[in-house]
Amino acid sequence: MKKNVITFAELAMLYFPDASTPRNAVRSLNRWINRCPEMLEELRKTGYAPYNHRYLTPRQHAIIVKYLDPPE
């Protein structure tokens, strides 16, 4: 069965694999998102709310990857 959602922490760890903790990775990904007003606006249209996003929908995940490129 295909997983439809990814946690924000899982995605953050993919972008920041060297972060000392998942919490630090989440903070770093939040900074990147907040520095890109276009991405943040597009995410907000999907119901994304900063600091209240434990899980990402497939659409939200796609938006982040669109702006940041896929994690390595």
Distance, in Å, from the CA atom of 54 to the CA atom of 1, rounded to the nearest integer, reads 21
**Alpha-carbon Rg of the chain, whole angstroms?**
11
- The pLDDT value given to residue 3: 59
Task: Report the pLDDT averaged over residues 5-14.
Answer: 92
Nearest alpha-carbon partner for 46 in 5, 3, 2? 5
Reported pTM? 0.86
Q: For 32-41, what is each residue's pLDDT tens digit?
A: 999 999 999 9
Confidence check: pLDDT of 68 > 50: yes
Confidence check: pLDDT of 2 > 60: no
